[in-house]
Every structure is written in structure tokens, then in C-alpha cells.
Chains A and B, each alone.
Chain A
Amino acid sequence: MLRRAVRTLDERTGSAPFLHKALRYVFPDHWSFLLGEVALYAFIVLVATGVYLTLYFEPSLGKTVYHGTYGPLRGMQMSEAYKSVVDISYDVKAGLLIRQTHHWAADVFVAAIVLHLLRIFFTGAFRKPRDLTYLIGLMMLGLSLPEGYAGYSMVDDLLSGMGLAIGYSVALSIPVVGANVGQLIWGAPYPGAHSFESRLYIAHVFIFPILIGTLLAVHLALVASRHHTQFRRRKADGQRRVIGVPAFPGQAPKSLGLMVGTAALLFLLGGLVQINPIWLWGPYETGLSTNGAQPDWYLGWLIGAMRLVPGFDVTIGRYTLVPNPLWGGLLFPTLVFAVIGLWPFAERRLTRDRRVHNVLDRPRDAPWRTALGAGFLTFVLLVFFAGSADRAYVSYNVDYSTQIWIYRALLITAPVAVTWLTRRICLGLQRSDEIDEEREAAEREARQAAQAPA
């Protein structure tokens, strides 16, 4: 049966050689190679649950009064958009499950991409011939942030409104043309024209997903065409030949298992762990905000950056060249992405190593890369944690101004300390490798000497 299907298809499409190649594609075996796959599977869950949600969501800021199932909101004025999401949560059977799974999937998607990026960085997998693949991956990460932001912003609950207000301020803070850009995106001064909701919606369900999906296809095609990298092995020319399990039959059940397992995790989270209970936040009003409110985790670093920047606007006379939100809201993330994106090229310059690399470094093999990467990561993580300063304020009652000063001090000292320490650790590990090798060589010699006839 299967045989006939393969024949039939090959006669009409010539797919058999390609199919054979795909089935024998070699997967080097290491758990950390699966992080990117998790992101891919989370994306599939996102698309599936997202399509379901669009069948109920109303992208409209038209005012309506709520008369639905959830008692505390009854009689309240709200937008059609907000009402439709409350309805998905309370009146559509399985609606809340799908909605929460969608939200969790978004959080896991970005988390998996970030972990995947860290794996790629610290093992040097971004080197030629995979630097293009790396940049495309980074672009997907860059697109997934506004994608997620648009997704939770279009709900028009109190949290999404606060997030949009900040986004608007960052747009306005662009030098010279900020006011024009802000009005262009929002259609009017904040909170914007009614058509703004359709813009968010089409960006979230069409433009960004199409871009991410396209880049994803290119990313995977490039990975397959250059083959996976692999860790070094003894007695094997890893630079020329890739060793691993073939896609079929060896890898297929594992990858399928990971896909289904990722979906299982997301549905379990979606069913059991509450996320973004918008009926508790209430509909957005410009004049309302709440303390201890958090955006989704992947925007925490931007909130942290905007908090830590000292309070100043760059002015020339009465002309405001750089309003403050630009630093934390736009320049900081641009800089972080630029550093990550330019690293492969900088490293190639500094090390003068322009060769093709199919064998991965262990982090210790490249002490400077690992050390600088760890220092940079520390910097970004500290900024990220400053984004949760309000949780620390609410939960532990640590004064926010004290926290801000502690974070500022740490930002200057900790990355340097971590860089220094990481380099020391790498060099230490290298040394211990050498000692191990020497010992093994000595043991080998001793054995040979013992075996040799006296």
C-alpha cells in the first residue's frame, strides 16, 4: 500500500530521491539540539489555537454593555473586543482552555527560542556556514516580541491598555518625527482611533505570523541544506562527516514524541494554570492603572530598562531631541539585538578565523566568547529582573527607589565580575582537560610497559 503511494507520487512529482534524502537526514544526538524543535512545535500550537480564537474574537473598540455570565462585570461598559474575550473565557465551551493554551504557547515559544539562541551562541554553532541561519533565527525572535505584544494588547483589558500607553510613548519619543509616527500608528493621539484595533488585529493574526512562518521555512531549509553541527568525537573527522541517527526510523518517533509532548505540556498548562485572567483586570480606561501589573515575561526587560534609565530628556533649548522612553524602550533592545546579530562577524574579525565550522565548541573551548556572552547575558537578565521590581515591592515591601539604585549598581559591576569569573572557569576547565589527557596517556604508557615482556 505504502509502496504504491510512493510510486504513484514519484511518477508524478519525482519526489522519491528527495524523500529518500529526507528519511536518511542525519540528526546528531544531543538534548540541547531539541530546543529549536520545541519552539517550532509551540508555533504549531499557536497557529492552531489562534485560528480557533479568531472565530470568536471581535476586533472592535465599539462600546457595548456586558450582560454575560461573569457577574462582577455585568452592567459595565466595555469594548466589543474585551467583551468577546470574556465571552470566549466564560461562554464558549472549551474556549478558556484554548485561550489559555494559546497564551502559554506564546510564552513557551519565546522562551524556547531564547534558550535555543543561548545554545547556538555558547557552542559557536553560528559560525560559517550557518551565520545566515542564525540571523534569520534572530529575526524571528525579534518578530515574535511585537507579535506577542499585539496579541495581548488587542484584548483591550486594563493591562493591555497600560502596555499600549507605554508603546505609544516610545513611538512619540523617536527624535524629530516621533509625534508623526505615533499618530500614524495610532491614527490619532492616544488612546487612538477606532481603526487602531483593526491594525493590531491584522498585525497579530496575519502580518507577523506570515513573516515568522516564512522565515521559519527558510530557517529550516537552511539547517537541512548545511546539515546539523555536532560535538567533537574521538577518532572521527567531525569537520567532514556528520554522524548521527537517521530521520527515519531512528529520529522520527523521538521528534514526534517531543512535538506531542510539547502540545501536552501546553494544554496541561492551559487547562490547569490560570494565565491573564482579563475579567479580573477589567476593561481599559485611560485614567486607570494598577500596581504590581506585569506584561508577558518576554517584555519584562523593556519595562526594566525604562525604569533604570535616569530621568532626563536630551534638550536643546526648548527643543526636546530625545524624550526619555527612547533609551529603554527602543535603543536598549535595538542595541541588544545588534550586539547578538553582529557577534558572528565581530568574532570572525577578531579571531581572524574565516574557516567553515561543522564541529561545535564546548563553552570552555572559546573562553572569551563564553565569558563575554555570560557577562552580556548577566546585563540583560539584571535589566529583566528590574522589570519585576514591582512584584518585589508588593511581595517583600522593598522600597522601589532602593531597588532601582541596587540594580543600577549591579548593572555596572556584575557583568564585569561575571565575565572575569567565567573566563577563569573556562581556563580552569581547559587545564583540567589537559591534566586528564596527560594522566590517560601516562596510564596507557604504564599499561603498555607492564604488558611488555620483562
Chain B
Amino acid sequence: MRRRSETVVALLLFCSAACAVAFVVFYAIEKLGRNTQYMGLALGGSLAFLAAALIVTGDRLVETEQIEEEYPLPDEAAQEQVDELVADTGRRFTRKRLLGTAAGLAGASLGAALITPAASLGPVLDTDPLTRTPWRRGRRLVDTHGTPLRADEVDPKTFYTAYPEGADHDLIGSPVIVARLDPGRLRLPRDRAAWAPEGIVAYSKICTHAACAVSLFRTPRFPPTQPRPAIVCPCHYSTFDPAEAGKVIFGPAGRPLPQLPLMVTAAGELAAGGNFSGPVGPSWSEVRNRRAT
């Protein structure tokens, strides 16, 4: 019985060695070398055989008698000694309160001083950068490759992502969603009447909930439950109504999508009519008191 178990363990160890060699071969031979599956199988196999050998050893070949041991008990004498030692030291101070306050003050001040350099990590007090966007009146809307977007190219039933011409596309204030809606069904506030030429609207593409790109456009497939087109964020399902100034109609977002006023240039291209209706992206405490700048 013992001899048989020993044979099994030896065989498992040989298999483990063979797999390890195979791994080196797979690695070294260029033709096979790029094959992650072979390498993983060989290395994992080698380890698995070794594990099996160890477990058989533990199960069959090694003495597994059980032993007992006392759980440790608290050493009360030592506790007592520590108590006394600390109490003795304390007795030597006559003005404990003063020293305690002074030490606390020194500790707190030094601690504050030591973490002060961390303030260089970012603009701590100035929150104005959060409201900045590259959009200005007259700045054209371009696609990823920088080609200006023409008003007559904007199809209903789908949406477009556009960026401000000549600006960094990766700024949170850059990307906008452009869609053509039925002008008769637009319900924008009165002061935004001129923001949607021919029914074309533009909103920030950054969700006001958690800054994901709102990249789903839901055109109504089933009017009773989905009466109008909607812009949906794939992260947490905030859903915005493009016909009603980006109003939240479902999900966790707390603010509407900021709208970008549009105009059509003489050449028929789309351009911004100004900055967004509000700060772009996720909310912070001051967000409702600030404007996009």
C-alpha cells in the first residue's frame, strides 16, 4: 500500500517535471511561443501535478496523528508588571496637564505641517477649472477627425458625437451629442427658443450623474412606454429627454444634461451659439450656483 502510494507520488512528480520542460519548450520555440494556451496549460499542469503529489503525500505517506495543545491564557503577572511600570513613570511628572496639552499641540501642528505639501497635488481651493469648457460662440462642431458637421447631414433616428473645433477632445467639457428632433415636439424653455435650428439640438455627452459618456440613443420602438427619443447613460441608466432641455426622466442623475446653443453658419455648418446652459459633468456642492465658463 505504501509502496503503491510512493509510486503514484513519483509518477505525479515526473509528470510535473515533464510539463515544466514542456513550458520551457513552448516558450523557446518561436513557432509555438506565442501560444498563451499551450504555455498556460504546461505551467498550470506542472503546478497541478506537483499539487497532486503533495496532497497524496500528505494523505498517504505522512504521519497524520493528531496532537493536542493548550490554548494560551493571558499572562496576568506580566500585565500587572506593565501596569506598574507605566504608572511609576507617570508619577514623576508634576504638571501633567500642561505637558499633555503642549505635546498634543506640537503633534497636531507638526502633523499638519507634514501633510501640507500634499496640497500641491492639485488646485485645492480654486474650483473654477471645474466649470471651464472649450465652447465659445461661433466655434464649429467637428467629428473625431476634425471634419465640420453640416446641418443637412444630421439625420433623425440617430445621433452624432461632435467636438469643438481645435480643442482637446478629451476634456470633460468637449464632447456633445447632436440629434435632429421634430421641431413641433420640442419643448425648450422660452429663452432657448433659438438654440435648436431646424430642430437640431446639442447636449453635453457627459452624464451629470457619474461622468460616463451618454452613448445610447433610444428611439421609440414601442410608443406606449417609450413615447419619445431619449438619451441613456449605459453606466447607471440615467435617461434624459432631448426634446425637453435634457430633463432627467429616469435614473439617478440629479441635473439635466447641459444644453449647447446651436446655430447654422452661412456655409450650412453647425456652430455653437455660446457656452452650455450649466456646468458640465458630475455634481459638486456648488454646481447649481455656477455657470459654464
Interface flag for B180 (CB, 8 Å): no
Question: Which A residues, 344 to 398, have Cβ-Cβ distances below 8 Å to chain B?
Answer: 358, 389-390
Interface flag for A62 (CB, 8 Å): no
Say which residue of A240, A245, A312, A325 sits within 8 Å of B64 (CB atoms).
A245
B37 adjacent to A285 (CB under 8 Å): no
Q: Given the known A-B contacts A253-B58, A309-B252, are A289 and B209 also in contact in the complex, defined by CB atoms under 8 Å?
A: no
Scan B241-273; emit 1 where CB is below 8 A from any A CB, else 0. Answer: 000000010111111000000000000000000
Measured in the bound complex, the distance between the Cα atoms of B281 and A173 in whole Å is 12
The chain A residue with its CB closest to the CB of B28 is A93
Interface flag for B22 (CB, 8 Å): no
Interface flag for B39 (CB, 8 Å): yes
Interface flag for A186 (CB, 8 Å): yes
Say which residue of A101, A190, A251, A269 sits within 8 Å of B281 (CB atoms).
A190
Please, which residues of chain B bring their CB within 8 A of the CB of A245?
64-67
Interface flag for B146 (CB, 8 Å): no
Measured in the bound complex, the distance between the Cα atoms of B282 and A197 in whole Å is 21
Say which residue of B36, B54, B132, B213 sits within 8 Å of A288 (CB atoms).
B213
Say which residue of B27, B122, B163 sits within 8 Å of A183 (CB atoms).
B122
Question: Which B residues, 43 to 99, have Cβ-Cβ distances below 8 Å to chain A?
Answer: 43-48, 50-55, 57-59, 62-72
The chain A residue with its CB closest to the CB of B62 is A249
A227 adjacent to B72 (CB under 8 Å): yes
Interface flag for A68 (CB, 8 Å): no
B40 adjacent to A271 (CB under 8 Å): yes
Say which residue of A261, A272, A287 sits within 8 Å of B161 (CB atoms).
A287
Measured in the bound complex, the distance between the Cα atoms of B47 and A270 in whole Å is 13
How many whole Å from B250's CB to the nearest CB in chain A? 6
Interface contacts (Cβ under 8 Å), in number, total: 295
Scan A148-183; emit 1 where CB is below 8 A from any B CB, else 0. Answer: 000000000000001001101110110110111011
B211 adjacent to A188 (CB under 8 Å): no
Q: Given the known A-B contacts A225-B72, A320-B283, are A287 and B212 also in contact in the complex, defined by CB atoms under 8 Å?
A: no
How many whole Å from B207's CB to the nearest CB in chain A? 8
Say which residue of A306, A310, A313 sits within 8 Å of B283 (CB atoms).
A313
Interface flag for B134 (CB, 8 Å): no
B288 adjacent to A242 (CB under 8 Å): no
How many whole Å from A293's CB to the nearest CB in chain B? 7
Measured in the bound complex, the distance between the Cα atoms of B163 and A399 in whole Å is 31
B68 adjacent to A272 (CB under 8 Å): no
Q: Given the known A-B contacts A165-B211, A189-B172, are A291 and B286 also in contact in the complex, defined by CB atoms under 8 Å?
A: no
Interface flag for A441 (CB, 8 Å): no
The chain A residue with its CB closest to the CB of B38 is A271
Please, which residues of chain B bring their CB within 8 A of the CB of A336?
none
A285 adjacent to B170 (CB under 8 Å): yes
Q: Given the known A-B contacts A93-B27, A285-B170, A306-B236, are A173 and B284 also in contact in the complex, defined by CB atoms under 8 Å?
A: yes
Interface flag for B137 (CB, 8 Å): no
Interface flag for B229 (CB, 8 Å): no
Please, which residues of chain B bring their CB within 8 A of the CB of A185?
121-122
A253 adjacent to B169 (CB under 8 Å): no
Total interface residues on B, CB under 8 Å, equals 88
Complex interface: stretch among B105-113, B123-131, B182-190: B123-131
Measured in the bound complex, the distance between the Cα atoms of B43 and A447 in whole Å is 59
Interface flag for A96 (CB, 8 Å): yes
How many whole Å from B191's CB to the nearest CB in chain A? 18
Q: Given the known A-B contacts A175-B285, A225-B72, A270-B40, are A303 and B236 also in contact in the complex, defined by CB atoms under 8 Å?
A: yes
Please, which residues of chain B bring their CB within 8 A of the CB of A288?
213, 215
Scan A176-212; emit 1 where CB is below 8 A from any B CB, else 0. Answer: 1011101111111111010100010000000000000
Interface flag for A108 (CB, 8 Å): no
The chain A residue with its CB closest to the CB of B69 is A26
A400 adjacent to B252 (CB under 8 Å): no
Please, which residues of chain A bring their CB within 8 A of the CB of B163?
287
Q: What are 26 A-to-B residue pairs whose CB atoms are below 8 Å?
A: A97-B39, A162-B235, A165-B206, A169-B282, A179-B127, A179-B286, A187-B121, A191-B171, A225-B72, A241-B70, A252-B58, A257-B52, A259-B51, A261-B52, A263-B51, A264-B48, A271-B43, A286-B172, A287-B205, A289-B212, A289-B233, A307-B251, A311-B250, A323-B285, A324-B283, A401-B250
Given contacts A287-B175, A293-B234, A311-B250, 19 further A-B contacts (CB under 8 A): A26-B69, A94-B39, A101-B40, A168-B211, A172-B284, A180-B124, A191-B171, A227-B71, A250-B65, A254-B55, A269-B44, A271-B44, A287-B170, A292-B234, A306-B209, A306-B235, A307-B236, A318-B289, A401-B239
| A-B residue pairs, 4 tightest by C-beta | A271-B40, A287-B175, A253-B58, A268-B44
B residues contacting A by CB (< 8 A) are 27, 33-34, 36-41, 43-48, 50-55, 57-59, 62-72, 118-119, 121-125, 127, 129-130, 132, 161, 163, 169-172, 174-175, 205-206, 209-216, 225, 233-239, 248, 250-255, 281-289
A residues contacting B by CB (< 8 A) are 24, 26, 29, 93-94, 96-97, 100-101, 162, 165-166, 168-170, 172-173, 175-176, 178-180, 182-191, 193, 195, 199, 225-227, 239-246, 249-254, 256-261, 263-272, 285-293, 303, 306-307, 309-313, 315, 318-321, 323-325, 328-329, 358, 389-390, 399-401, 404
